[in-house]
Chain A
C-alpha cells in the first residue's frame, strides 16, 4: 500500500471550491486539513464518526473464552489469546442475555437477529424491524457516496446480517474484485485529486431521477398495499440516490489516509479456514480504505455465517457440524476442534481491529473515530444456547468510549450494547428492543464521563 508522507503545518489552509469548473489544489494533501488536536479539519469540521459491525458464527467455548477478571487488564483465556495485541482497543461483554419470550428459539437465528434488531424473530423467515446499522446509517450515512457498505468473507452473496426490513436484505460484497470495482471504478471521486470538475452528467441524472419517480408514481395506483410499500421503498432508494448525486457535484473533502489501492486478484469459492481468512483480510483492507476515503461511514463485515461451514483441512466436520457432534474433551473441558474454529474467528477479529487501529487519521486512527459492534448467534452452540452470548466492541467513538474492559452484564439484555451504540452515534432514542429485550440502560461502564 502506498503511503502518504510528510507532515506540514496544519494551519496551511487550502482555499477553493468549487461547483462548475476545474479547481486546482496544491499538493501534498496531508493532514494540513486537520486542526492542531487532530480531531477536526482545519475549517472546524469534525472528523466524522463511523459505525461498524463485525460478526462471527457459533459463539464460544465459555471455559476458555470468558476472562476470570472483569474491568481493565482482564486476562485472555486461550480461545481469545489472539486479542493480546489489540486488547487495549476493544471491550469484551459477557453474561449478557438474549430473550426469546414467547417466540421460539430459532437455532442460529434468534441470537443474531435480537442483537442486531432488538426483536426476537417468530420464524426463520422472519427478520423483524431493521438492523442497527440501518438505523445508524439513516442518521450518519447521508453525507457519503454509500449510505453503508457490507462485505462478507464467506464468498456467499446470501450472507448478511444487515436488513432494512423483512424482505430487504443489504446485499454484501462477496468478491474482492467486485468490491474494488464498486469502490474505485465508475463514480469514484478521489478526495485528494488536485483538480475537481463536476460531471455535468450528474446534474442530468438528478433531473432524470425526478422524471422517473414522477412517472412511476402512476404505477403505484394499480398495486395492492404490500406491493405499494415495496415500490415506496424503491422510491426511497431513488431519493437517496438523488442525494448521492448532489454530493458528487461538490468537491469531496480531502482525506489524509485515502489511497486508491491496486486492483486485487479474485479468489476461488470455498470455506477452508485459510481461504476465508485471506478473503476476510482482502475485504477488510478494501473496506477500511472505503472508510478512509469517506465513501461510507457505516460498514458491516461478515466473517462467518450463523451456520458457519468453515472447514479445517483434513477434519471431516465443518464448524457447525463440529459444534454438535464433537464431544467435550473431559480433560480439556471443551471441544478442541470447535474451539479451533472459534480461535480462527478471533484471530480475524484481531486482524480487523488492528487494521483499523493502524490506519492513521489525525493524531489517532480510524478506530479512534469509530465504534465497531461485534456479535455472534449463540453462546454455547452445541446446545443452541443464547444465554450469556458474548459480544465485543472496538474503538472509542471519537473519545466517548473507554476501551480495554471486560464487562459482566449480570444477565441484563444484550441489547444494551446496541442501544449504547445508537446513542453514541447520536440517535435520539429512549429505549431499544422489544419485550424482555427492551432496554433504556446504556452500558455506563464504558462511557467516558
Chain B
C-alpha cells in the first residue's frame, strides 16, 4: 500500500517520528510540507492508552526466574488465570482480566512457596546479600538490604522509603514471632509477591517537562513496556539503571537501550512469546489426538510441533533477519526425532536444521504440523478451522460465529461423503452457512493433503483430493499457490503490525485512533524489507509507545480531523478530569 506520507517519512528519519505520525493522521487534509510546518506542540500529544495489565503466566515465571533463579521459578505453577483472547491476543486480555478471590488465594500460595525456597538452606547464601548477626533474631539492616534490592526488581521500580520501612518492619516482626530471621524475611517477601505492584504492570504517566501538555510514561513504566515487549520479562539491572538515570527520556538514551535489547540473546524469548500468543499455541496445553486414528501422535509429538514452528520463526526473523512474508513459503525449518514420524522423514537425536523437499508439498508455516494439527479436530482435519485460523491469525480478519438457527439437515446427507470437500459442499446449498464457509473453506480445503495430525496424504478415504482454491481473488492450484497467496496478501504485514503494537502496548489497537499511525509503521516495514527487528525498533522508539494518550488530546485531534467525539469519550474525559482533580 502506498502511503502519501512515505516520501515525508523517508526524509524525516526517526528523530521526527512523532511528527510523522501526526502528519500521517492529518494527511487527508493537508499536504506533506504543510503538515510539518503546521504541527504544534499540542498536536504532538498523541500516544497509547494507559493500561493496567496482569502479568501473564510466562511473565510471572520469567520474573521469578530473573530475580531468584530458574529452579525456584519452575517449581511453582504460575497462579495466573487464563486470559480471554481479545482481538487475537491473550496479551490484550491482560488489560481487562479480573482476579477473583480464589485466584488471590492461589497467588498467596505460590508466594509462600517461592519465599520459603528463597530463604531455605540451599538458596539463602546465593540469594540473600548478607547474613544476620543472629539467625534467631531480627536484623533490620540485613533485611533492608535484601528487601530493597529484590523489591526493586520485583516491582520493576525502586521501593519508596515508606514502603521499605513497612516491609522491614514486617520482616522484623515476623522474625520475632518465629525466632528466625529467615522466616521473617520470607514473610516480607511473601508480602511483596502478593502486592499488586508485582502482579500488575501498571502504566504510570507524568507530564513531559519539555512539552507540558503531553503525558509520557514515567521511566520505569517505559522500561517495563520495553522489556516485556522485547524479552517477555521484567527490566534487567541495566535497564533499571538507565531508567533511574533518566536516559530513557532522551532520544539517544532510549535508542541505546532499545538497540542493546534488540541485540541481546533474550530477544528470542520475546519473539517466541509474541508468536506463541499470536498463533494461539496455548491450545497445545490441552491438545490431544485420538490415539486410534493417529497412534504416532503423542503429547510429546505435539510439544515438538509447537517448538518446531517457534524455532523456525526465531531463526528466520531474528537470526537470519529475513523477510517476514517468506515465513509462509520457506522450506527451511528444524526437525526432531519425535516429529520425524509425522513428517515421514529420518531424523537424528535432538533438533537439527531441516529443509523440506523442493518438490514436496511442505512449505511455510501453514504446512507445519503445529498449524495443521491445532486447527483440526482430534479425529479428523477441519478445512473450516484451518481457513478460519489463517484469516484470523495472520490477516486479522474476523470470521463470524455461525448463526443460531442454522438448518443442519443438509449435512446429514453428507454423512457418507468421502472427502471434506464433499462434506462442506453442502454448506454452499444453505445461504446462512455459505456466507461464512466461503470465507474459510476455499483455503482450508487446499490443506486437505494433510490429515488431522498434519501427516501428508494423497487421498482421503480413497478419493483423490482437489486442492485448488482461492484466497481473496487470487486463484491457485496447489499448496504452494496458497502459500504464495498468503505471503503476498495485502493484509499480512498490516496484521502483524496491528498485533505487535497491541502486544507491546498491552491492549487492542483502536482502528479509529491508531489506523494512520499503524499505516506509518507499515510503510517503514516495507522500507526495511519486512524485517522484524527493524519493526520492533520502530515501535519501541515511537512517540506513541512512550507517551500516553490523554483524552483531551484525542478530542483535540479529532476536532482537527473533523471527527466528532462520541458521547462515551466525553464521559471518559470527564472521568479522567475528575480523577486528576482527586
In the complex, are the beta carbons of A208 and B170 less than 8 A apart?
A: yes
In the complex, are the beta carbons of A167 and B98 less than 8 A apart?
A: yes
A167 and B195 in contact, given A178-B77, A227-B52 (Cβ under 8 angstroms): no
Tell me, yes or no, whether A52 is within 8 Å of chain B by CB: no
Closest residue on chain A to residue B113 by CB atoms = A186
Which residues from 227 to 252 on chain A have a C-beta closer than 8 Å to any C-beta of chain B? 227, 230-231, 233-234, 236-238, 240-241, 244
In the complex, are the beta carbons of B52 and A223 less than 8 A apart?
A: yes
Interface size on A, residues (CB 8 A): 83
Contacts of B166 in A (CB 8 A): 211, 214-215
Q: Which of A1-9, A308-316, A387-395 contacts B (4 or more CB under 8 A)?
A: A308-316
One of A169, A219, A238 near B104 (C-beta < 8 A):
A238
Q: Which of B12-20, B268-276, B283-291, B316-324 contacts A (4 or more CB under 8 A)?
A: B283-291
Q: Which of A80-88, A89-97, A320-328, A354-362 contacts B (4 or more CB under 8 A)?
A: A320-328
In the complex, are the beta carbons of B378 and A311 less than 8 A apart?
A: yes
One of B104, B112, B575 near A186 (C-beta < 8 A):
B112
In the complex, are the beta carbons of A208 and B188 less than 8 A apart?
A: yes
Contacts of A328 in B (CB 8 A): 412
In the complex, are the beta carbons of A325 and B412 less than 8 A apart?
A: yes
Tell me, yes or no, whether B310 is within 8 Å of chain A by CB: no
In the complex, are the beta carbons of B101 and A225 less than 8 A apart?
A: no
Q: Which of B32-40, B173-181, B489-497 contacts A (4 or more CB under 8 A)?
A: B173-181
The distance in angstroms between the C-alpha atoms of A271 and B287, with both chains bound, is 9
The distance in angstroms between the C-alpha atoms of A244 and B102, with both chains bound, is 11
A168 and B98 in contact, given A204-B173, A216-B197 (Cβ under 8 angstroms): yes
One of B191, B292, B412 near A326 (C-beta < 8 A):
B412
The distance in angstroms between the C-alpha atoms of A429 and B520, with both chains bound, is 56
In the complex, are the beta carbons of B377 and A233 less than 8 A apart?
A: no
Tell me, yes or no, whether A125 is within 8 Å of chain B by CB: yes
Tell me, yes or no, whether A107 is within 8 Å of chain B by CB: yes
Which residues from 81 to 125 on chain B have a C-beta closer than 8 Å to any C-beta of chain A? 81-82, 84, 86, 93, 96-106, 108-109, 112-113
Tell me, yes or no, whether A200 is within 8 Å of chain B by CB: yes
Closest residue on chain B to residue A310 by CB atoms = B378
In the complex, are the beta carbons of B202 and A326 less than 8 A apart?
A: no
Tell me, yes or no, whether B569 is within 8 Å of chain A by CB: no
A200 and B177 in contact, given A167-B97, A238-B104 (Cβ under 8 angstroms): yes
Closest residue on chain A to residue B104 by CB atoms = A237
One of A156, A164, A208 near B190 (C-beta < 8 A):
A208
In the complex, are the beta carbons of B197 and A219 less than 8 A apart?
A: yes
In the complex, are the beta carbons of B292 and A313 less than 8 A apart?
A: yes
In the complex, are the beta carbons of B113 and A201 less than 8 A apart?
A: no
Tell me, yes or no, whether B129 is within 8 Å of chain A by CB: no
In the complex, are the beta carbons of B290 and A311 less than 8 A apart?
A: yes
Contacts of A317 in B (CB 8 A): 377, 379-380
A324 and B108 in contact, given A237-B101, A240-B101 (Cβ under 8 angstroms): no
CB distance from B368 to the nearest CB of A (A): 20
In the complex, are the beta carbons of A314 and B292 less than 8 A apart?
A: yes
Interface size on B, residues (CB 8 A): 80
The distance in angstroms between the C-alpha atoms of A104 and B290, with both chains bound, is 35
Tell me, yes or no, whether B67 is within 8 Å of chain A by CB: no
One of B112, B406, B415 near A384 (C-beta < 8 A):
B406
Which residues from 82 to 125 on chain A have a C-beta closer than 8 Å to any C-beta of chain B? 104-107, 124-125
Q: Which of A36-44, A71-79, A146-154, A438-446 contacts B (4 or more CB under 8 A)?
A: A146-154
Tell me, yes or no, whether A212 is within 8 Å of chain B by CB: yes
In the complex, are the beta carbons of A165 and B98 less than 8 A apart?
A: yes
Tell me, yes or no, whether A157 is within 8 Å of chain B by CB: yes
A222 and B196 in contact, given A209-B191, A227-B52, A313-B290 (Cβ under 8 angstroms): no
In the complex, are the beta carbons of B379 and A168 less than 8 A apart?
A: no
Q: Which of B252-260, B348-356, B397-405, B521-529 contacts A (4 or more CB under 8 A)?
A: B397-405
In the complex, are the beta carbons of B190 and A205 less than 8 A apart?
A: yes
Contacts of B406 in A (CB 8 A): 324, 384
One of A164, A203, A211, A237 near B191 (C-beta < 8 A):
A211
In the complex, are the beta carbons of B378 and A271 less than 8 A apart?
A: yes
Which residues from 175 to 224 on chain A have a C-beta closer than 8 Å to any C-beta of chain B? 178, 182, 186-187, 200-201, 203-205, 207-209, 211-212, 214-216, 219, 221-224
In the complex, are the beta carbons of A325 and B113 less than 8 A apart?
A: no
The distance in angstroms between the C-alpha atoms of A294 and B150, with both chains bound, is 37
Tell me, yes or no, whether B576 is within 8 Å of chain A by CB: yes
Tell me, yes or no, whether B139 is within 8 Å of chain A by CB: no
Tell me, yes or no, whether B222 is within 8 Å of chain A by CB: no
Closest residue on chain A to residue B290 by CB atoms = A311
In the complex, are the beta carbons of B404 and A201 less than 8 A apart?
A: no
Closest residue on chain A to residue B286 by CB atoms = A156
The distance in angstroms between the C-alpha atoms of A164 and B100, with both chains bound, is 7
In the complex, are the beta carbons of A204 and B170 less than 8 A apart?
A: yes
Contacts of A164 in B (CB 8 A): 98, 100-101
Contacts of B412 in A (CB 8 A): 325-328
Contacts of B174 in A (CB 8 A): 201, 204, 208
Tell me, yes or no, whether B50 is within 8 Å of chain A by CB: yes
Tell me, yes or no, whether B582 is within 8 Å of chain A by CB: yes
Tell me, yes or no, whether A272 is within 8 Å of chain B by CB: yes
Closest residue on chain A to residue B426 by CB atoms = A325
One of B93, B100, B188 near A237 (C-beta < 8 A):
B100
In the complex, are the beta carbons of B404 and A225 less than 8 A apart?
A: no
One of A146, A212, A230, A318 near B195 (C-beta < 8 A):
A212
- A421-443 vs B, Cβ < 8 Å mask (1 yes, 0 no): 00000000000000000000000
CB distance from A25 to the nearest CB of B (A): 25
Tell me, yes or no, whether A128 is within 8 Å of chain B by CB: no
A315 and B379 in contact, given A178-B77, A224-B50 (Cβ under 8 angstroms): yes
In the complex, are the beta carbons of B187 and A224 less than 8 A apart?
A: no
One of A147, A221, A225 near B102 (C-beta < 8 A):
A147
Contacts of A325 in B (CB 8 A): 408, 411-412, 414-415, 423
- A270-314 vs B, Cβ < 8 Å mask (1 yes, 0 no): 111000000000000000000000000000000000000101011
CB distance from B170 to the nearest CB of A (A): 5
Contacts of B187 in A (CB 8 A): 201, 204-205, 208
Tell me, yes or no, whether A268 is within 8 Å of chain B by CB: yes
Closest residue on chain A to residue B186 by CB atoms = A201
Tell me, yes or no, whether A45 is within 8 Å of chain B by CB: no
Tell me, yes or no, whether A63 is within 8 Å of chain B by CB: no
Contacts of B204 in A (CB 8 A): 222
Contacts of B190 in A (CB 8 A): 205, 208
Contacts of B184 in A (CB 8 A): 204
In the complex, are the beta carbons of A224 and B575 less than 8 A apart?
A: yes
In the complex, are the beta carbons of A106 and B104 less than 8 A apart?
A: no
CB distance from B491 to the nearest CB of A (A): 23
One of A211, A219, A383 near B202 (C-beta < 8 A):
A219
Contacts of B98 in A (CB 8 A): 164-168, 230, 233
The distance in angstroms between the C-alpha atoms of A315 and B379, with both chains bound, is 8
A383 and B408 in contact, given A148-B102, A167-B97, A237-B105 (Cβ under 8 angstroms): yes
In the complex, are the beta carbons of A236 and B101 less than 8 A apart?
A: yes
Tell me, yes or no, whether A24 is within 8 Å of chain B by CB: no
One of A104, A169, A238, A268 near B100 (C-beta < 8 A):
A169
The distance in angstroms between the C-alpha atoms of A311 and B288, with both chains bound, is 11
The distance in angstroms between the C-alpha atoms of A382 and B408, with both chains bound, is 7
In the complex, are the beta carbons of A171 and B103 less than 8 A apart?
A: yes
Q: Which 4 A-B pairs have the closest CB atoms?
A: A237-B104, A168-B98, A270-B288, A327-B412
- Interface residues, chain A, with chain B CB atoms under 8 Å away: 104-107, 124-125, 146-150, 154-158, 163-171, 174, 178, 182, 186-187, 200-201, 203-205, 207-209, 211-212, 214-216, 219, 221-227, 230-231, 233-234, 236-238, 240-241, 244, 268-272, 309, 311, 313-318, 321, 324-328, 382-384
Interchain residue pairs with CB less than 8 A apart (22): A105-B404, A124-B401, A147-B101, A149-B102, A150-B102, A157-B82, A168-B100, A170-B100, A171-B102, A204-B187, A208-B174, A208-B191, A211-B169, A221-B582, A224-B575, A231-B52, A240-B104, A271-B288, A316-B379, A317-B380, A324-B408, A325-B411
Instruction: A148-B102, A215-B163 are known; give 11 further A-B pairs, CB within 8 A.
Output: A105-B405, A107-B402, A201-B187, A215-B197, A233-B98, A234-B99, A237-B99, A241-B101, A316-B293, A383-B408, A384-B405
